[in-house]
């Protein structure tokens, strides 16, 4: 092999060795800087009944005790449908009310909590939970037939109720709309849902009650009448929206 006159054979070999050394060093540095693989968090599952809600936290009572489940913007809430419960439909987080049987999938969180990725329940269990009576400070907003707007007295009652929540820890607000037995059942269901929704909007916008403190509005139709539907007075009393402050005594500390 011929070499340039200004380099002898030894210098050519030394240069080649240095080149290989530099390449090897770069390769080693690249391997050293490669990030270690991040291990996936262990999946956790819990089945139980919602015992209470406090902001983003949900207390689930199981056979072995009570577990705190944390909800966030990524949590999916699904209602199971069909005979085999294989169909799922998305629901709002406000559907997660006390007394509801749920299946929670998530990952371990701080202080033995679970950060929920998915919460599932059946339509039948939601209806049962909506019918569970409980709580303190009920306020009834009377509604005339086919009326959805809140009258002046109702607004005053709701503002007073919203003011009471300021001094309560660990509370949730449950809203249920009712109708008299007159009229079409499907129309009554729709009407009671709209009445409950109007009350929730008023409490949030005027009463400054945070939306995460609200449970899913319940459209109860003509069920659970407060008076006899045989008279006009009784029918008027049955057209109502009942608002209840549900308090988790364990969170409230009293």
Q: Of 13-17, 59-63, 139-143, 215-219, where does the model show the most confidence?
A: 59-63
The full set of domain ranges for the chain reads 44-130, 136-252
Give the mean model confidence (pLDDT) for residues 173-178.
Answer: 87
The residues pairing with 70 across neighbouring beta strands, listed in sequence order, are 57, 115
Q: Give me the chain's average pLDDT, please.
A: 75
**What does the pLDDT read at residue 194?**
85
Residue 114 pLDDT exceeds 90: yes
Residue 78 pLDDT exceeds 60: yes
**What does the pLDDT read at residue 68?**
93
| pLDDT, greater one: 139 or 193 | 193
Torsion, Cα 238 187 212 201, to 10 degrees, reads -80
Question: Which overall architecture, per CATH, does domain 136-252 show?
Answer: 2-Layer Sandwich (3.30)
The residues pairing with 235 across neighbouring beta strands, listed in sequence order, are none
Helix or strand or coil: residue 85?
coil
**What does the pLDDT read at residue 82?**
65
- Point out the least confidently predicted range of 1-5, 23-27, 37-41: 23-27
| Range 26-43 burial, b when 16+ CB lie within 10 A, else e | eeeeeeeeeeeeeeeeee
Q: Which band of pLDDT confidence, cut at 50, 70 and 90, is reported for residue 75? A: very high
* 69 dihedral zone (left: phi>0; alpha: psi -120 to 50; beta): beta
Question: In CATH, what class is 44-130?
Answer: mainly beta
Give the mean model confidence (pLDDT) for residues 187-210.
Answer: 87
Do the beta carbons of residue 124 and residue 175 sit within 8 Å? no
Stated length of the chain = 254
Q: Which two tokens stand for residue 101?
A: 């049987």
Residue 202 pLDDT exceeds 60: yes
pTM of the complete model beyond 0.75:
no
Do the beta carbons of residue 238 and residue 180 sit within 8 Å? yes
Q: Of 153-167, 177-191, 209-223, where does the model show the most confidence?
A: 153-167
């Amino acid at each position: 092999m011929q070499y340039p006159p200004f380099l002898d054979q030894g210098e050519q070999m030394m240069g080649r060795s240095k080149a290989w050394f530099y390449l090897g060093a770069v390769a080693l540095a690249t391997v050293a800087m490669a990030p270690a693989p991040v291990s996936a968090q262990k999946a956790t599952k819990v089945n139980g009944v919602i015992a209470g809600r406090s902001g983003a936290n949900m207390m689930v009572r199981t056979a072995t005790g009570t577990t705190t489940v944390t909800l966030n913007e990524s949590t999916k809430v699904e209602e199971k449908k069909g005979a085999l419960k294989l169909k799922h439909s998305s629901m709002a987080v406000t559907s997660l009310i006390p007394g509801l049987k749920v299946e929670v999938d998530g990952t371990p969180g701080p202080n033995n909590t679970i950060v929920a990725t998915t919460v599932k329940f059946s339509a039948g269990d939601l209806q049962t939970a909506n019918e569970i009576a409980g709580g303190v400070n009920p306020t009834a907003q009377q509604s005339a037939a086919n009326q959805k707007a809140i009258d002046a007295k109702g607004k005053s009652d709701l503002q007073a109720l919203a003011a009471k929540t300021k001094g309560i820890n660990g509370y949730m607000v449950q809203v249920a709309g009712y109708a008299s037995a007159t009229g079409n059942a499907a129309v009554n269901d729709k009407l009671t849902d709209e009445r409950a929704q109007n009350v929730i909007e008023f409490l949030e916008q005027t009463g400054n009650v945070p939306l995460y403190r609200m449970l899913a509005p319940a459209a109860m139709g003509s069920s659970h009448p407060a008076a006899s539907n045989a008279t006009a007075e009784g029918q008027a009393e049955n057209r109502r929206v009942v608002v209840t402050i549900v308090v988790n005594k364990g969170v409230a500390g009293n």
